[in-house]
Amino acid sequence: MATWSDLNLQNSASPLMEQLTFFHDHALLILLMITILVAYIMGAMFFNKYTHRYLLEGQTIEVIWTIIPAITLIFIALPSLRLLYLLDESLKPIITVKTVGHQWYWSYEYTDFSNPYEFDSYMIPYNELPLNGFRLLDVDNRTVLPMNTQVRMLVTAADVLHSWTVPALGASVDATPGRLNQTNFFMNRPGLYYGQCSEICGANHSFMPIVIESVNTKTFIKWINNMLNS
């Protein structure tokens, strides 16, 4: 979870988020190199009163500063397209969960069981928050999911546009009324992962957080059995 001192992305909890972090660092390094090069050229030309006239106009220099940016864009575009296809790849899920965005809370449904388990997830008000709780992020009913398992999340909305987003998992899906979108993720470690609605959906847009609790398979089976039998 992000804190005030963090200047980078959240620590990844899924292979897709790891790839997003690698691409971010890759693109940032290229941008840094371009910035330094352009700053050096501009400084050299600004403080040099003997600027060569062929540096300002000519076919050779035109070709050079057209080809070099094209090659640079290729080094950015190829990893970006690869990552885009990885994000859209639909793998065979082990478990499917459906979430519906409402003004202003999320509802979840575990659809793989004979008796689907459904619950609503509301943000815990500040005056009811425990001492170790996180303001504006904790919910009364967490979404418990097994780690090391391919999870498919079906996302839709009941009223207006929402967006189901959990940064640590690299998951961000638009919740559109009348449309069923999906995303896949694979959590490779246990923990609590926080997210929020990323679509401005009304007055209480900032009060509908998401909490994913990643647990081992035995704990998940025990939890879902208790929920189905209660």
Residue 48 and residue 20: Cα distance in Å, rounded? 42
The CATH code of domain 15-88 reads: 1.10.287.90
pLDDT at 30: 93
Mean pLDDT of 32-39: 92
- Residue 124 has φ and ψ, to the nearest 5°, of -80, 125
Q: Of the given ranges (79-83, 112-116, 184-188), which has the lowest mean pLDDT?
A: 112-116
Residues sharing a CB contact under 8 Å with residue 104, sequence separation 6 or more, in sequence order? 197, 201, 202, 204, 205, 207, 208
- Residue 126 is predicted with a pLDDT of 87
Which of residues 130 and 192 earns the better pLDDT score?
192
Convert the pLDDT of each residue in 102-153 to its tens digit.
999 999 999 888 788 899 999 999 888 888 888 889 999 999 999 999 999 9
User: Does residue 210 carry a pLDDT above 90?
Assistant: yes
Q: What is the mean pLDDT of residues 160-184?
A: 92
The mean-pLDDT minimum among 29-33, 59-63, 160-164 falls in 59-63
Q: What average pLDDT does this structure show over 27-34?
A: 93
The region of weakest confidence among 35-39, 53-57, 63-67, 109-113 is 53-57
The residue behind tokens 């999906």 is 182
For the chain, give the mean pLDDT.
Answer: 88
Q: Cβ distance 127 to 163 under 8 Å?
A: no
Which pLDDT score, from 0 to 100, does residue 5 have? 58
Q: Enter the pTM of the model.
A: 0.80
| CA 157/CA 162 separation, integer angstroms | 7
pLDDT of residue 52 exceeding 70, the answer is: no
Positions of CATH 1.10.287.90 in the chain: 15-88
Under the banding of pLDDT at 50, 70 and 90, the label for residue 28 is: very high
Q: Is the pLDDT of residue 74 over 90?
A: yes
The correct answer on CATH 2.60.40.420 for the domain covering 95-229 is yes
Helical axes 15-46 vs 59-88, angle rounded to 10°: 170
Stretch(es) of the chain classified as CATH 2.60.40.420: 95-229
Model confidence at 1, in pLDDT bands (50, 70, 90)?
Answer: low
